[in-house]
Amino acid sequence: GIQVEQSPPDLILQEGANSTLRCNFSDSVNNLQWFHQNPWGQLINLFYIPSGTKQNGRLSATTVATERYSLLYISSSQTTDSGVYFCAVTSGSRLTFGEGTQLTVNP
Amino acid sequence: GAGVSQSPSNKVTEKGKDVELRCDPISGHTALYWYRQSLGQGLEFLIYFQGNSAPDKSGLPSDRFSAERTGGSVSTLTIQRTQQEDSAVYLCASSPKETQYFGPGTRLLVL
């Protein structure tokens, strides 16, 4: 099946710093989503982004489908950004998730 | 509007007992998914329902796991003869087309 790799596995930032999270996938995909799992376990949709670039406030994402990667940018990070960021790709009917990036933003 | 809801939020059971987990999707969403997340892990696909089509059960880890979706809405995931390795968070998601929206999950602990 399709493989999804995320990097880095862990990231610690000071409030206000910027960061880039990466997602590589092994095969062509129908779509790609980025999620944030907050410390209470709730998964929140950030982006549906099979290709191109999208921005939402301090977050933006870029997917280069032909090169099989996606990037999530977090600017001016806040403590509320802490949690796990998952990349998930669809091949067929299912979402396959990466192992996530654990982000900690310190005040 | 209301999001995906799941019940119970937490369930503690004894090894060997059966459990039922419920998912209420967002109204009008035709697709419904179940996933499992073990401690510190990513999400593992279990089963997918789309409208009246036969479900994709290819992610179910054993024949102790089954799921149904009644009337194209509410879904129940049943685990028979629970084992300690079944302990995890079980997440349900629904989708109108591509984007999946997740419920808060049911935390299952098998003693």
Contact B25, B48 (CB under 8 A): no
Verify whether the Cβ–Cβ distance A95 to B102 is below 8 Å: no
Of B98, B102, B104, the CB nearest to A48: B98
**Is A94 exposed, middle or buried (CB count within 10 Å of its CB: 0-12, 13-18, 19+)?**
buried
| Distance set, CA A56 to CA A9, A13, A42, A45, A59 (Å) | 23, 20, 19, 12, 5
Residues of B with CB under 8 A from a CB of A: 33, 35, 41-45, 48, 50, 56, 58-59, 89, 91, 93, 98-102, 104-105, 107
Tokens of B16: 């060997």
pLDDT at residue B104 in the model: 94
Of A41, A42, A95, the CB nearest to B45: A95
C-alpha radius of gyration, chain A, whole number: 13
| Distance set, CA A34 to CA A61, A63, A86, B1, B11 (Å) | 8, 11, 6, 22, 29
Whether A89 shows a pLDDT value over 60: the answer reads yes
pLDDT at residue B1 in the model: 55
Q: Which residues of B touch A100 (CB under 8 A)?
A: 42
Tokens of A100: 């996530």
**pLDDT tens digits, A25-42:** 998 887 899 999 988 888
pLDDT at residue A39 in the model: 84
Distance between CA atoms of residues B111 and B99, nearest Å? 35
- Span A74-78, mean pLDDT? 97
* Residues 6 or more apart in contact with residue A85 via CB below 8 angstroms: A6, A21, A34, A35, A36, A37, A46, A72, A100, A101, A103
**pLDDT tens digits, B70-83:** 887 999 999 999 99
The type of residue at B26 is I
Residue whose token pair is 């209470």: A40
Q: Which residues of B touch A49 (CB under 8 A)?
A: none
Tokens of A22: 């990466």
**pLDDT tens digits, B7-53:** 999 999 999 999 999 999 999 999 999 999 998 778 899 999 998 88
Average pLDDT over all residues of chain A: 93
Of A31, A86, A99, the CB nearest to B98: A31
Q: Which residues of B touch A42 (CB under 8 A)?
A: 102, 104-105
A21-25, A44-48, B1-5: segment of lowest average pLDDT: B1-5
